[in-house]
Amino acid sequence: MSAAGGTEAGDGLTGRTATELAGLVRAGEVSAAEVTEAHLARIEALDGEVRSFLCVASDTARSAAAEVDAARARGDVLGRLAGVPVAVKDMFCTSDLPTTAGSRILEGWRPPYDSTVVARLRAAGAIIIGKTNLDEFAMGSSNENSGFFPTANPWDTTRVPGGSSGGSAAAVAARFAPLALGTDTGGSIRQPAALCGVVGLRPTYGRVSRYGIVAYASSLDQAGPFATTVADTALLLEAMWGHDPLDSTSIPSEPESALARLEEGVAGLRVGVVAELAEVDGIQPEVRAAVESARNLFEKAGAEVDTVSVPSVQYGLSAYYIIAPAEASSNLARYDGVRYGLRAPADARGGYDVATMNALTREAGFGAEVKRRIMLGTYALSAGYYDAYYGQAQRVRTLIIRDFARAYERFDVLLAPTSPTTAFELGAKTSDPLAMYLSDVCTIPTNLTGATAISVPAGLDAAGLPIGVQVLAPALGEAVLLRAAQALESAFAFSARPNLRRAA
């Protein structure tokens, strides 16, 4: 078990922000190789306790760092992330590393190409330091649905890091990398960010290319950044977003700068506290208090704060768990034992025709939660139930979009908890899927609307576990979202770090 607070031996380069590291590398005060070696050493010393990585890219990371150092020696202009280690959720295709989506059905699969996001980070000089663990195919809220092993929360290794991007959140919290990539379908960046005490942002749907990201629910999936500060989050966001002709859902307009207005403050900004989320069933008192503190901090900084009702958010969880499994049942049909990934051998059942091979492969390759969601989604899309379930869920989604649109007529940003509770114990909710699903009740509405939201650390509870508060903004509202988040970060001044047993 890890205790909260304090610092550890060996912080050095691994205790620096991405902005600081990139500046040091550009100035020649430290080499990309030194930065990379420091983080690899920390991973080797401490990740046995956390298990945030499925694959540590030691050789390729060293090669990439050597290329950055050679470019600097030649006098080349370095990218904005030159020499900065980035941990990548194992949903992003990487041509030089396996991509498994946390599933046995893709174990060992090596894509022939990079996802657009990974390609952009490489072009910016980032060092891909490894692929992080996740709930299988991003289906989960605790990282316990990984097809390989669960990741632990660095703040207390008897507790979950959240999910599905728990490996990425844990890697940033443990200072294995200053930046990480995640995907957010129903809260899978923001919820683990809250549970691990880091910053996590879900961009507007279409702002970041989905090309080369293993699909879960195509109308909800969106990639986004993890970091220890809002400024680093904006830095990574600017390196990864923008139009991509390879993604038909990519927004063609160029995004407004994520960094330019960070320090403008919130004087005159209209902030609405979402009543239905601030008092959601089962909310931990300390989480409720953190939201109230955020409200007060906004007011002291000059924002105009009031409460707002978004009535339809109470139906968000129900709509999501029809829409997302329905899309998953379609997307995961491609894992059939024929084209790539696992092909299960014949067993004692007799014949081994295509249908049998397909069934055996999916039975062996998919975990229990993935099977559950495929069955839920297939049922919802079936001829006799399509309109009653999937069609009705889409109508509810429209209601939620309209309710939020009305809220944004009055307010520039909204405020809510990120997760109803802090990190729960490993195994506490694995036997109760509904209790697990409720972990995402505050984050799912943003995914259904296609808008943007961010989780910012707001302090620690009595057990020394991080609390996150969430700022929400309308679609394409990342600039005002980050400005509000920066103001909260400055006011909360959260600086605690998890202590891991073995010093790097």
Q: Which residues contact 204 (CB under 8 A, 6 or more apart)?
A: 222, 251, 450, 451, 452, 475, 476, 477, 478
Residue 218 among the catalytic residues? no
Q: Whole-angstrom Cα distance, residue 167 to residue 189?
A: 10
For residue 362, give the 3-state DSSP assignment.
Answer: helix
Residue 164 annotated among the catalytic residues of the structure: yes
Q: Angle CA(259)–CA(14)–CA(238) in degrees, nearest 5?
A: 20
> Residue 356 and residue 336: Cα distance in Å, rounded?
10
Q: Please, is 442 exposed, middle or buried when counting C-beta atoms within 10 Å of its C-beta (0-12, 13-18, 19+)?
A: buried
- φ/ψ of residue 129, rounded to 5: -95, -10
Active site residue 89: yes
Catalytic residue among 164, 250, 419, 455: 164
Identify the three-state secondary structure at position 179. Answer: strand
Q: Using an 8 Å Cβ cutoff, are 150 and 104 in contact?
A: no
For tokens 């009595």, what's the residue? 462
Q: Are 131 and 114 in contact (CB under 8 A)?
A: no
Q: Which residue in the list 52, 89, 439, 455 is annotated as catalytic?
A: 89
Query: Residue for token digits 């699909």?
Result: 215
| DSSP E strand stretches across 436-503 | 452-460, 466-473, 498-499
Q: Which of 168, 188, 329, 419 is catalytic?
A: 188
Beta bridge partners of 460: 466
Distance CA 241, CA 237 (A): 6
285-300 helix and 478-492 helix, angle to the nearest 10 degrees? 100
Backbone angles phi, psi at 43, to 5 degrees: -60, -45
Which residues are tagged catalytic? 89, 164, 188
